[in-house]
Structure 1
Amino acid sequence: MPELPEVETTRQGVAPHCEGQTITEVTVRDGRLRWPVPDDLPERLQGQVVRSVERRAKYLLLQLDTGTVIVHLGMSGSLRVITDQSPAMKHDHVELQLANGRLLRFNDPRRFGCWLWAERPDQHPLLRDLGPEPLSEVFNGPWLHRQSRNKQTPVKSFIMDNHVVVGVGNIYANEALFKAGIHPRRKAGRISLDRYHLLAQAIRETLAAAILMGGTTLRDFVNSDGKPGYFAQSLLVYGRGGEACWECGRALKEIRMNNRSTVYCTRCQR
C-alpha cells in the first residue's frame, strides 16, 4: 500500500499541472471504489478551479472554491497526469479534464481507493480524528511521551496508530525504530522521554529522506510520472530479515506483529 512518502511524492508530481486549472470535464467510468463515488461529483466539479493540491495523512485533497475532493490511493491506486491523450486503460476509473489540455487520471485495479466530496474536510469522518503530521512542529518527543503514558501496546503499533501520528506505515516504523535503537515490542508506556525524542527525530528523518528519494518501490505503486521510487535501496532493516545488521553485523530477526513483517536487530534495539 502506498504510504505517506509515496502519497506526498504523488502530490508533488501532480500539483504543478493541476493548480490554477479549471476542470472542464469529469468522467467516472467505475464509481464502485471502497466507498462509492458520489453520483453528483461530476456536477460539483465541472467548471471549478483547482486552487491547491494538498495532503493530509495518506489522503490527497483537491481544494476547490466550493469544497474539497478527498482522494485515497488505496492498496493499488495511482494518480497520474496524462499529457498525450493516451486512451484510458482497464482500471482508469476517474478522470478530470483540465483547461490546459491535461488529464488527471486515477487508476485502481483493486478499487480500495476513494474519491469523496466534503465541504469541510477537517470535519469529515476520515480526517477529523487524525493525529499530527510527522513533519509538523506539533509532532515531537514530548507529544509521543504524553500520548504513550499507561499504554501497554507495543511501540511499533503505537506509532502506526493514526490517532497518535499520521503516515507512519509499516516500512517506515521498522526503519525509525531501528534508527532510534528501540525494540518494536517494547511497551509504549515504558519508554522514556529521552528515547521518544530520538524516535520522533528518527521518524521525521526517515520520512523526509523517503520523500526526497521519491518513496519506496512497492509492487503496486508508481509515481505520477510512471517511475518507481528508489528509497528501497536505502532500507536499513525492512525486507532484510536474516541479513547482517549494518551496525553490528548480527543477523536481523524477522517476526510478525499484527500480521505485518517486523524486522529488527536483537543487539542494537532494546
Structure 2
Amino acid sequence: MPELAEIETLKLYLAEHIIGDKITNYTQRRNKLRYELTKDLASYLINATIIDITRRAKYLNIYLNNDYVLTYHLGMSGRITIQLENYQLQKHDHIIIGLQSGKQLVFNDARRFGMVYISPSNQVSDQHYLKTLGAEPLEEEFDTEYLLKKLLSKKIAIKLALMDNKIVVGVGNIYAAESLFMAKINPLRPSNTLTREEVYTLVSSIKQVLEKAIKAGGTTLRDFVGVDGKPGYFKQELNVYGRIGLPCYICGHKIEKIKQSGRSTFFCPDCQNGSQKDLL
C-alpha cells in the first residue's frame, strides 16, 4: 500500500505538471471502487482549472477554480499517472481526466480499494474521511510534547500507536519500523513507557526517515510507481523492513520478524533494546 512518502512524491510531481491546466473531458469506466462514486462527477470537473494540490495523510486533494476539491485515496494498489493523448487504456484504468494541454490524468486500481470524492473546497477538512485524523508527521505540530501527550495513556505497543491515524497520519508499516530502528526502540514497548528523551528521538527519527524517503521518490513495493510510471527508490536503503534473517547494518545481529495486529514487523533485537521474549 502506498504510504505518506509515496503520496507526497505524487503530490509534488502533479503540482509541477498539471497546476494551471484545464479539465476538458472526463471518462469513468465503472461506478464503484471501494465506495460508490458521486453521480455525474463530470459536471464538477469539466471546464474547471486545477489551481492547487495538497496532501492530508494519504489523501491527495486537487483544488479546482470552481470551489470544489477532487480527493483521491490510492487504497491498496491504486496509481495515478500522467499520460499523453495517444495513450492506450489499460484493463484497470477506471477514471481518465483529459486536460487542455493534451495530458491525461489516469487512475488505475486493480484491487479497487481506492476512493475518489468530490467536495466543496471550504468543507474539505470536515469530510468524514479527514476530520478525525491526527497530526501530520512533517509539520511543526508533531513534536515531542504532542506525541508524549498522545502516548501517555496508551498501553499498546509503540509500533501500533505510530500506525494509528488518530495519533499521527501516514507513517504506515514500513516507515514505523524504520523509524523505531533509527530511534533504537523495540516495536513491542508499551507506548506509555517511553521517556521524554525517547519520544524526542522517535519524533526526530520519523521526520528524518520520511524526508529521506520523499527525497528518494518513495518506496518500491509491489504496485507502487510514481506518477511518471517510474518506481520509487527508497527500498534499497531500508534498514530492517523486509530483511528478515539478514545481518543488521549496525551490530550484525539477524533481523527478526514478528506479527503485530496481523502486520509484519521487522526489527533488530540487539539494537532495539531487548528481544521479543523480554517484553512479553
TM-score range, shorter chain: over 0.9
Amino acid in the other structure paired with 1:246: Y
For the residues of structure 1 that align with 2:119 and 2:159, how far apart are their CA atoms? Answer: 32
Unaligned runs of 5+ in 1: none
Superposed CA offset, 1:222-249 (max 9, x none)? 1111111110000000001111111111
For the residues of structure 2 that align with 1:53 and 1:105, how far apart are their CA atoms? Answer: 16
For the residues of structure 1 that align with 2:11 and 2:84, how far apart are their CA atoms? Answer: 17
Q: Is the aligned partner of 1:158 residue 2:164?
A: no
Superposed CA offset, 1:23-51 (max 9, x none)? 11111111210111111211111111111
| 2:82–2:228 Cα contact (<8 Å) kept | yes
For the residues of structure 2 that align with 1:150 and 1:90, how far apart are their CA atoms? Answer: 48
| 2:11–2:55 Cα contact (<8 Å) kept | yes
Q: Is the aligned partner of 1:265 residue 2:268?
A: yes
For the residues of structure 2 that align with 1:16 and 1:103, how far apart are their CA atoms? Answer: 15
For the residues of structure 1 that align with 2:27 and 2:250, how far apart are their CA atoms? Answer: 52
| 1:6–1:223 Cα contact (<8 Å) kept | yes
| 2:85–2:102 Cα contact (<8 Å) kept | no
Alignment of 1:124-143 (within 5 A): 124-143=127-146
Superposed CA offset, 1:197-223 (max 9, x none)? 000000000000000001111111111
Amino acid in the other structure paired with 1:23: I
Q: Is the aligned partner of 1:86 residue 2:90?
A: no
Where 2:244 maps in the other structure, the secondary structure is coil
Superposed CA offset, 1:32-84 (max 9, x none)? 10111111211111111111111111010011132211101111110011124
For the residues of structure 2 that align with 1:84 and 1:47, how far apart are their CA atoms? Answer: 18
Alignment of 1:1-270 (within 5 A): 1-64=1-64, 65-119=66-120, 120-270=123-273
Where 1:51 maps in the other structure, the secondary structure is strand
For the residues of structure 1 that align with 2:112 and 2:188, how far apart are their CA atoms? Answer: 33
For the residues of structure 1 that align with 2:47 and 2:32, how far apart are their CA atoms? Answer: 24
For the residues of structure 2 that align with 1:59 and 1:188, how far apart are their CA atoms? Answer: 27
In the TM superposition, residue 263 of structure 1 has moved relative to its aligned partner by 1.0
Which range is displaced more, 80-89 or 44-53? Answer: 80-89
Percent identity, aligned pairs only, is 42
Superposed CA offset, 1:129-173 (max 9, x none)? 111111100001111100011211100000111111111110000
Superposed CA offset, 1:111-145 (max 9, x none)? 10011111111000000111111110000111110
Superposed CA offset, 1:161-190 (max 9, x none)? 111111111000000000001000000011
For the residues of structure 2 that align with 1:157 and 1:266, how far apart are their CA atoms? Answer: 17
For the residues of structure 2 that align with 1:56 and 1:18, how far apart are their CA atoms? Answer: 19
For the residues of structure 2 that align with 1:109 and 1:70, how far apart are their CA atoms? Answer: 19
Superposed CA offset, 1:4-32 (max 9, x none)? 11111111222222211111111111121
| 1:85–1:103 Cα contact (<8 Å) kept | no
For the residues of structure 2 that align with 1:68 and 1:46, how far apart are their CA atoms? Answer: 13
Where 2:246 maps in the other structure, the secondary structure is coil
In the TM superposition, residue 85 of structure 1 has moved relative to its aligned partner by 2.2
Amino acid in the other structure paired with 1:160: M
Which range is displaced more, 23-32 or 187-196? Answer: 23-32
Structure 1 residue runs of 4+, over 2 Å off?
none
Unaligned runs of 5+ in 2: 274-280
For the residues of structure 2 that align with 1:189 and 1:26, how far apart are their CA atoms? Answer: 50
| 2:53–2:60 Cα contact (<8 Å) kept | yes
Amino acid in the other structure paired with 2:25: E
